[in-house]
Amino acid sequence: MEKNIIELITPAFFVLAFAELFWVLAAKKPFYRYKDSVNNLSAGVFMQVFTVFITVGLVGIYAWIYEKCRLLTLSDSSWQAWIVCYVLADFFYYWYHRFAHEINVFWASHVAHHQSEDYNFTVALRQGVLQNTFSLPFYLPLAVLGFSPFMFVMVIQINFAYQFWIHTRLIPKLGWFEWLWNTPSHHRVHHGRDPKYIDKNYAGTFIIWDRFFGTFQEEEEEPIFGIVKPMTTWNPVRAQFDYFRELFELSWKTKSWKDAFAVWFRPPGWKPRDLGESVIPPEIDRKIYRKFDTEIPVALTVYTILQFLSAMGASMVYIEFKKELPLSEMIVLGFYILWTLRNIGTIFELKTSGIVLELVRLASIAALTYVYPFDFTRVEKLNALLAPEIVASLPNLMKVTAIGSFLVLGAFLLSQKRFFSVKGYSTKAA
């Protein structure tokens, strides 16, 4: 279970995303927006950071069921077993995915994936941090049937990797291929918020599940992407947990204890009678529809680009070298990665709190390098990539970068005639 296919092919994901970006820029197609793409990738990083601490426990549960409850022992060397495992895993994924759209508590774990109002390869990486936790019970029959934890982990990763290429607007319908396989056309429908497209095409790899269980919808006109109640924030923390907050509020406010419990298991949009009408997805007037967006000064755009690239670089180090880092450094690095991405989201909204917290973050990094003995020379893989003197200088580079960023952002803030408003953003047409 040491192999991590997703980590191995992550560079290919980014190469394809950049290729798609250059293609749409050359063709002058509005398929990418900077802030939305950053928000998508931030969600992907959030999932990867949390996955480090969650996956071991989830695989442990699967392994325990496999050891104690399996009916058969299927060999990892049997190609027939691999094929059957993949097909069954995709079948169980269909049912988790369907539940994730039709039951509130499961939707809360999955909704982050659907919040983007764009549709491109970065959306594939936008995942819910609790999605794996909520999906695990659906896969446990594989353990009972006798598919090993190693085979299960590998198959799930391959299934996830397959779904990357279907998140694009550039690939048209693919003829006969669409009868069996999930394709970009089918999955565009799944991400649509038009009433006829909602709760359709749940497939991972094989679209036959939707055809068989009555949830298939052909793509007619291109969908309007996103969720019925669009997210009007770039805050990646809210993107992950805001729907849980909404469910808690509904459960707390209703006077009916039955409804307080039922709200978690009703479909999205359902409300207790004493809290108003349930939400019915409305038809969308394409002539007046506008995506959520915000405007920020050019200086802040450049600043957020540089900080985002730094956060992505740190996240790559975190993912690649996590097994060699001491637990304390893993926790500190993961915390600062998530804090950086959270601050970028609030800066996108020109919130005073976001800029102040960013200054606090930068100051704390500089202070931390003085009191904590960061030592990256113990990371063998890092030493294999970089010269020893560069590895030894990384803590000092962190300090210099943090101080420099603090001075630049502080100077920008002082150059303004006033602080940005607490509310911050104002929407504009995309």
Reading the chain (430 residues) residue by residue, the pLDDT tens digits are: 445 777 777 778 888 999 999 999 999 898 999 999 999 999 999 988 887 778 778 899 999 999 999 999 999 999 999 999 999 999 999 999 999 999 999 999 999 999 999 999 999 999 999 999 999 999 999 999 999 999 999 999 999 999 999 999 999 999 999 999 999 999 999 999 999 999 999 999 999 999 999 999 999 999 999 999 999 999 999 999 999 999 999 999 999 999 999 999 999 999 999 998 888 888 998 889 999 999 988 989 999 999 999 999 888 878 777 767 777 778 888 899 999 999 999 999 988 888 889 999 999 998 988 887 777 777 776 777 778 888 788 888 888 889 999 998 888 888 775 555 545 544 444 4
Domain that holds residue 302: 298-415
**Cβ neighbours for 116, distance < 8 A, ≥ 6 positions apart:** 36, 39, 40, 122, 123, 126, 225, 226
Q: Which amino acid is it at 259?
A: D
How far, in Å, CA of 145 to CA of 73, rounded? 8
Are residues 51 and 181 located together in one domain of the fold? yes
On whether residue 407 sits in a domain, the answer given is: yes
- Alpha-carbon span 422 to 411, nearest angstrom: 20
Does 190 share its domain with 326?
no
Inter-CA distances, 408 with 194, 304, 358, 366, 419, Å: 44, 12, 12, 14, 16
User: Does residue 226 lie in a domain region?
Assistant: no
Q: Go through 60-82 and write b for each residue having 16 or more CB atoms within 10 A of its CB, e for each that does not.
A: eebbebbeeebeeebeeeeeebb
Scanning the structure block, which residue is given the tokens 């070298």?
321
Q: Are residues 203 and 313 in the same domain?
A: no
Q: Positive or negative CA dihedral for 141, 144, 147, 153?
A: positive
Determine, yes or no, domain membership for 292: no
Residue 164 falls inside a structural domain:
yes
Q: 192, 213, 234 — which closes off a domain?
A: 213
What local confidence, expressed as pLDDT, does residue 415 receive? 79
Q: Are residues 26 and 166 in the same domain?
A: yes
Residue that the structure tokens 């068989």 belong to: 212
Phi-psi region at 120: left, alpha or beta (left = phi > 0; alpha = psi -120 to 50) = beta
Residue 196 lies in a domain: yes
CB-count burial class (<10 Å; 0-12, 13-18, 19+) for 109: buried
Question: How many other C-beta atoms can be found within 10 angstroms of the C-beta atom of residue 83?
Answer: 11
CB 411 within 8 A of CB 417: no
Q: Torsion-angle region of residue 259: left (phi > 0), alpha (psi -120 to 50) or beta?
A: alpha
Torsion angle of C-alpha atoms 307, 313, 315, 319, degrees rounded to 10: 180
Give yes or no: residues 49 and 147 share one domain: yes
- Do 45 and 148 fall within a single domain? yes
Bridge partners (DSSP) of residue 181 are 206
Q: Give domain status of residue 285, yes or no.
A: no
Express each pLDDT in 156-202 by its tens digit.
Answer: 999 999 999 999 999 999 999 999 999 999 999 999 999 999 999 99
CA distance 424 to 430: 18
Structure tokens at 57: 């426990």
Does any domain span residue 142?
yes
**Secondary structure of residue 64 in the 3-state scheme:** helix
Domain count, the chain: 2
Q: How far, CA to CA in Å, does 82 sit from each of 25, 78, 89, 100, 143?
A: 41, 7, 10, 26, 13
At residue 409, the 3 state secondary structure works out as helix
DSSP string, 300-321: HHHHHHHHHHHHHHHHHHHHHH
Q: Are residues 51 and 144 in the same domain?
A: yes
Boundary-marking domain end, from 180, 213, 246: 213
Domain boundary among 213, 243, 258: 213
- CA–CA gap between residue 132 and residue 306 (Å, rounded): 31
Angle at 15 (CA atoms; ends 13, 16), nearest 5 degrees = 65
In a domain, 259, yes or no: no
Distance CA(241)–CA(238), nearest Å, equals 5
Chain-centre distance for alpha carbon 325: 24
Strand boundaries in 229-278, DSSP class E: none
Statement to judge: residues 161 and 17 lie in one domain: yes
